[in-house]
Amino acid sequence: MADTATLEAGADTATEHFDILIVGAGISGVGGAYHLTQQCPDKSFAVLETQESFGGTWLTHKYPGIRSDSDLYTFGYRFKPWTSAPIASADEILKYMGEVIDENDLDHHIRYNHTISTASWDGTAKLWTLEVTNTETGEQKRFTCNFLWMCQGYYRHSEGYTPEWEGMDDYKGTIVHPQTWPEDLDYTDKTVLVVGSGATAATIIPAMAPDAAHITMLQRSPTYFVTGRNANELADTLRELEIKEEWIHEIVRRKILHDQAQVTKMSFEHPDLLKEELFKGIKEILGDDYELAPHFTPKYRPWRQRLAFVPDGDLFHGIKSGKASVITDEIVRFTEKGILLESGETVEADIIVTATGFNMSVLGDIEFTIDGEPLNFHERVGYRGMMFTGIPNMAWVFGYFRASWTLRADLVADFVCRLVQHLDDKGASVVTPELRPEEVDMKLLPWVDPENFNPGYVMRAAHLMPQSGDRQPWQHSQDYWMEKDVIPAADLDDGCLVYE
């Protein structure tokens, strides 16, 4: 690979070349940039980002109360200590990411306002070519690279998922999706109905409740909630003992991951016990006499969908205060003033918030071709959930659903850096995952096991996602506790990765 970036005057568009291009400056892309500077300092690279700044999810989401639902000791990077309360606001996460960029001089690598529309692999030139629009100037640009690192996240930032309900046009109030929150929306003394009961609803409701006249959470089916203080006792104790922040970060990460592994084990082995524990946390706030069914008693096993953490039990304090309430029912249709439910009840509201999820964006809505052929991603099989059969020199980051996303972003980054070095060591310039002869006829399965994890946005996009095999390394396990040992030890010459 070339050591430095080159700028070539093409016939119509200037072309810039880098060894590696990273797509996206969210937590994954910024992390990738950091790891490249540390582990592959001789490689040229750039990060192309469509937004005007870094942060991805934490930049584009503006709804009231926006915060993480996992702790920042594990959602933060392995290499940069988190020093505040575990659950963080979007602003705190952006500040943390900004420090990573400043401290490591990453800014000059990032090109903001750069939207990638196509990515084409040319097997003869052994290069990716990206067609890019500068959204500020309208200028068309072309970038080439040897290796493409997809850190584009998993959903479309521009528009959330809202189901089509009958009568939506009749409704005279305001409908908003959390993903495209109007910053000037005034909800003071308004009645608000939030459709959905995932982490987003659990964040918005306590944030809006003090100012709204009343806020109702309408759910089709209940979610498991974990209540707890937004504090980490171990971190606080270690700080009192004046332990270095680097050590605190590492120790607290290990403790949290250890505890999470216990919870996962318990969800499989003793689901009823775990349910009781979760219910106990809610009853501590709402009182022993509060009837948890039907609003807080899901039918599925805990952990099949992400458990929504409610810091300091704020959602339940909102319910206890009478400012917030819950309805478990199905929408028949919208009316002029609100919603008609299957039970026959109508709920009136000035504002309806559709906290109904994401539209998956597979590969950043970029049109991919491999040697002129359009890429049908669903026909490909994932190698350890990070590369794909027949797609040369490309890796993507798809983090964990249950554990923090960034744990996997760090693991994939180490893998990519190791692979890039391995290519150099072998004197090769192309690496492509291919099924070995004994795997060609193996059974192909969905990208993630729907028995194990099945939120709506994943199920809706299953037909667009790559497939998995019936054995490793062709599976996407979503198991941090397995992958933390297996990925760093993966044999790069086991025949699954073909070099030229």
Ligand X SMILES: Cc1cc2nc3c(=O)[nH]c(=O)nc-3n(C[C@H](O)[C@H](O)[C@H](O)COP(=O)(O)OP(=O)(O)OC[C@H]3O[C@@H](n4cnc5c(N)ncnc54)[C@H](O)[C@@H]3O)c2cc1C
**Contact call for residue 404 and ligand X (CB under 6 A):** yes
The Cα 303–Cα 412 span in angstroms is: 24
Beta-bridged to residue 350, according to DSSP, are: none
Can you spell out the DSSP letters for 94-140?
HHHHHHHHHHTT-GGGEE-SEEEEEEEEETTTTEEEEEEEETTT--E
Q: Which is nearer to ligand X, 145 or 339 (CB)?
A: 145
**Contact call for residue 21 and ligand X (CB under 6 A):** no
**Contact call for residue 469 and ligand X (CB under 6 A):** no
Give every CB contact of residue 28 below 8 A, 6+ residues apart in sequence. Answer: 56, 151, 153, 397, 399, 405, 406, 409, 412
Query: With the C-alpha atoms ordered 352, 358, 359, 363, is the resulting torsion angle positive or negative?
Result: positive
Question: In this chain, which stretch among 2-10, 184-192, 234-242, 362-370 interacts with ligand X, using CB under 6 A?
Answer: 362-370
Q: Which is nearer to ligand X, 77 or 316 (CB)?
A: 77
CA 333, chain centre distance (Å) = 31
Question: In this chain, which stretch among 18-26, 243-251, 322-330, 481-489 interacts with ligand X, using CB under 6 A?
Answer: 18-26
Min dist CB 372 to ligand X, Å, is 20
Q: Which is nearer to ligand X, 28 or 328 (CB)?
A: 28
Query: With the C-alpha atoms ordered 174, 178, 183, 187, is the resulting torsion angle positive or negative?
Result: positive
**Contact call for residue 399 and ligand X (CB under 6 A):** yes
**Contact call for residue 29 and ligand X (CB under 6 A):** yes
Q: Which strand (E) or helix (H) includes residue 235?
A: helix 233-240
Question: In this chain, which stretch among 27-35, 104-112, 218-226, 345-353 interacts with ligand X, using CB under 6 A?
Answer: 27-35
Min dist CB 479 to ligand X, Å, is 15
Residues 43-82 that bind ligand X (CB under 6 A): 48-51, 56-57, 61, 68-70, 75
Q: Which strand (E) or helix (H) includes residue 29?
A: helix 27-39
In the chain, the amino acid numbered 66 is I
Min dist CB 172 to ligand X, Å, is 29
Among 20, 22, 26, 415, binds ligand X (CB under 6 A): 26
How far is residue 320 from each of residues 13, 282, 458, measured CA to CA in Å?
62, 11, 33
Among 86, 206, 338, 364, binds ligand X (CB under 6 A): 364
Q: Which is nearer to ligand X, 165 or 457 (CB)?
A: 457
Residues 332-351 that bind ligand X (CB under 6 A): none
Question: In this chain, which stretch among 14-22, 42-50, 281-289, 328-336 interacts with ligand X, using CB under 6 A?
Answer: 42-50
Min dist CB 41 to ligand X, Å, is 23
Q: Which is nearer to ligand X, 193 or 308 (CB)?
A: 308
Strands (DSSP E) found in 301-455: 308-311, 324-328, 331-334, 338-341, 346-348, 351-354, 367-370, 373-374, 382-383, 387-388, 394-396, 431-433
Min dist CB 364 to ligand X, Å, is 3
Applying CB under 6 A, the residues found at the interface with ligand X are 23-29, 48-51, 56-57, 61, 68-70, 75, 115-116, 151-153, 157, 200, 364-366, 397, 399, 404-405
